[in-house]
Structure 1
């Protein structure tokens, strides 16, 4: 099917005005003010009243579920492709969490393939929370070089009582191997780092960069909005040349305890004139979010939501962050850090991963993944294809 989308206001995420966009063979064939193509094989869509933006790139999701810190019954469910589509997410990266015993890399890899078969672009990281990390082959480099879906390592935990308390030398060796594996495979080889609430924050990463040849850009610290102190550490990390990631899934309890809402953290960075091109949002979808009463007793479990990714992008726009900047933290920026050149941008030759947003509400109206419509709210005449066998 050849699809011609017209009359939308296009953000690549840079503002492009209202050109027509032509999709063919799963890629964007052209973006131009005048595209003259007709025929029965051409689907023409009038997208008046919509913003046309890139599909969101979610750099951290627990696609096989997470949790378990409160016992077996606190294990969270797997992510579904339909949830991703409805949230405007077309590309995502799956990781293991605290539990790398009952949740395994083979399970993670199989789920990534399953989501890909359902229409998403799904990748994953080798490794685990603890050091020494889990791998499928004997080494990280072999996993990155020989397993197509593996593009990085992590999430490795620091500054958290649940981490393995890694030393600088352990982290150096891990990062060095990931770096070489990435170079040999042509992948990012990034080290995704879970940063916990301990005051040390990202100091370990700074120590490694200072005492070795490993650059800060080898590390990709996430959960950097746990509290204002960590946000400020993240801004310093950014100014030193690194990347930082804010987590969109949260709970009212965490916000009340001092967690900084993603949208507000991005707004701070933008107001301070920081380089927002190296800031990303990720959903932490299907992670466990423990809930406590006023006596700090465990009373239940929230679950990370993939829908929170777009919700926080929208919230940032409502706070006054320019739309292209807010979009970039969930499109172009994560695509760059993950070294996925076909993703996160609307341009000729890129994958046709598109989202149509209502101009007034910024709600998702339709989603296309690699040239195929995968979601519609029913307001546009698009034919949705679903490849799931479950009904």
Structure 2
């Protein structure tokens, strides 16, 4: 058992200074003061001067690497568990991207199981950028129903020169299969959508909703901060009932070409009246960050980092005056709700004990607890990875 004493708890709503008791990997009490008998079974942690917040939920990480747009030498490396922990990410969703040939779903699933064995909570999407979707069971529905880690399909690319040209009927079929698998397995069945910078934007998703019974909320489009035009389109999509996700990994060159920083995009969307429950940030960790010229030729490529999720959370508060509760929700409860991860994203009784201790002044990550166990303590990593 672990007893966190007198930290300021954001659950993500501000609860003030509280004691938090953890047992069996779960949160079992949050009280003004908890007194326990002196016992070797209870470890008391002084959390004064710390914010006690939910572990971050990262909805898009290329845990087996990505890239390859510039040939074999541009394939990005796999994510190491420490890459997530130093960024406060305790729950993540692994995805394939452009390359579904050398980056297989079997490898993705094995990597997810590795990270789970080391202490994180890890889920996956079946499929990749392209359609027809690659699967393990030869069925999107079966993959989601029968494989514990698979909660949806994606990231399916649209409005991108790397995307498979499809019409609304084809995408509706994919969404229907994912939705059915999710219903039967009590999962989200979400369709993660990679959105490129083509002028068609999110129109294909609107067409699916217009010409089928699939609601816009079945889709979870990301990279919505790619351009100012796409951000405006995304805000309108959210006002029509959809979810939108902002990518935190970026480069100076990409920002100079017109991308809006994720923290700024979050602030703009909130100012435009979008509900925080429809807004998330994700890292796109270990993806390639390619820059293409006007002829779609690769001219630069860098690596996405999971730790940018925490950095953008802090930036939203310090640079764009986003309320700390709202900034927290964008990386905790909002993605957990969209992905139907009911034990994640909130510090409430019975939920998994995924907790970050942040310095109360700087918001720097001091300690990370995942499923009740420390993975980082007082800025020292204590994960047990072999490599």
Tell me if structure 2 keeps the 8 A contact 1:195–1:201.
yes
Tell me if structure 1 keeps the 8 A contact 2:365–2:379.
no
Tell me the CA shift for residue 7 of structure 1.
Answer: 1.6
Tell me if structure 1 keeps the 8 A contact 2:87–2:365.
yes
- Per-residue CA deviations over 1:293-336 (Å, capped at 9, x if unaligned) read 99998564210000000100110011211000000000000000
Paired with 1:335 and 1:42, the residues of 2 have a C-alpha distance of 29
Paired with 1:258 and 1:169, the residues of 2 have a C-alpha distance of 32
Gaps of 5+ in 1: none
Tell me if structure 1 keeps the 8 A contact 2:69–2:298.
no
C-alpha spacing 1:223/1:293, structure 2 compared with 1 (3 Å): closer
What is the match of residue 22 of structure 1? 21
Tell me if structure 1 keeps the 8 A contact 2:94–2:125.
yes
What is the match of residue 321 of structure 2? 320
Aligned pairs for 1:32-181 (under 5 A) are 32-38=31-37, 39-181=39-181
Paired with 2:182 and 2:344, the residues of 1 have a C-alpha distance of 18
Partner-residue secondary structure (3-state), 1:321? coil
Paired with 2:75 and 2:383, the residues of 1 have a C-alpha distance of 28
The yes-or-no answer on 1:182 pairing with 2:182 is yes
Q: How many residues align?
A: 385
The yes-or-no answer on 1:228 pairing with 2:228 is yes
What is the match of residue 372 of structure 1? 373
What is the match of residue 8 of structure 1? 7
Partner-residue secondary structure (3-state), 1:6? strand
Tell me the CA shift for residue 292 of structure 1.
Answer: 7.2
TM-score, normalised to structure 2's length? 0.97
Tell me the CA shift for residue 386 of structure 1.
Answer: 2.4
Tell me the CA shift for residue 385 of structure 1.
Answer: 4.4
Tell me the CA shift for residue 175 of structure 1.
Answer: 0.6
What is the match of residue 253 of structure 2? 253
- Per-residue CA deviations over 1:342-378 (Å, capped at 9, x if unaligned) read 0000011000000000111111000000010001244
What is the match of residue 198 of structure 1? 198
TM-score, normalised to structure 1's length? 0.96
Paired with 2:87 and 2:59, the residues of 1 have a C-alpha distance of 14
Partner-residue secondary structure (3-state), 1:7? strand
Tell me if structure 2 keeps the 8 A contact 1:234–1:244.
yes
C-alpha spacing 1:94/1:169, structure 2 compared with 1 (3 Å): same
Tell me if structure 2 keeps the 8 A contact 1:64–1:107.
yes
Partner-residue secondary structure (3-state), 1:18? strand
Paired with 2:209 and 2:274, the residues of 1 have a C-alpha distance of 21
Paired with 2:248 and 2:267, the residues of 1 have a C-alpha distance of 14
Paired with 2:296 and 2:178, the residues of 1 have a C-alpha distance of 39
Tell me if structure 2 keeps the 8 A contact 1:253–1:292.
no
- Per-residue CA deviations over 1:62-105 (Å, capped at 9, x if unaligned) read 00000000000000000011111111000000000000011100
What is the match of residue 345 of structure 1? 346
Aligned pairs for 1:329-344 (under 5 A) are 329-344=330-345
Q: What is the root-mean-square deviation in Å for CA atoms of aligned residues? A: 1.6
Paired with 2:31 and 2:124, the residues of 1 have a C-alpha distance of 35
Tell me if structure 1 keeps the 8 A contact 2:66–2:99.
yes
What is the match of residue 364 of structure 2? 363
Paired with 1:308 and 1:253, the residues of 2 have a C-alpha distance of 16
Paired with 2:140 and 2:274, the residues of 1 have a C-alpha distance of 34
What is the match of residue 383 of structure 2? 386
Moved more, 278-287 or 369-378: 369-378
Paired with 2:33 and 2:289, the residues of 1 have a C-alpha distance of 49
What is the match of residue 31 of structure 1? 30
C-alpha spacing 1:296/1:253, structure 2 compared with 1 (3 Å): farther
C-alpha spacing 1:227/1:47, structure 2 compared with 1 (3 Å): same
What is the match of residue 207 of structure 2? 207
C-alpha spacing 1:378/1:246, structure 2 compared with 1 (3 Å): closer
Paired with 2:379 and 2:163, the residues of 1 have a C-alpha distance of 45
Partner-residue secondary structure (3-state), 1:107? helix
Gaps of 5+ in 2: none
What is the match of residue 277 of structure 2? 277
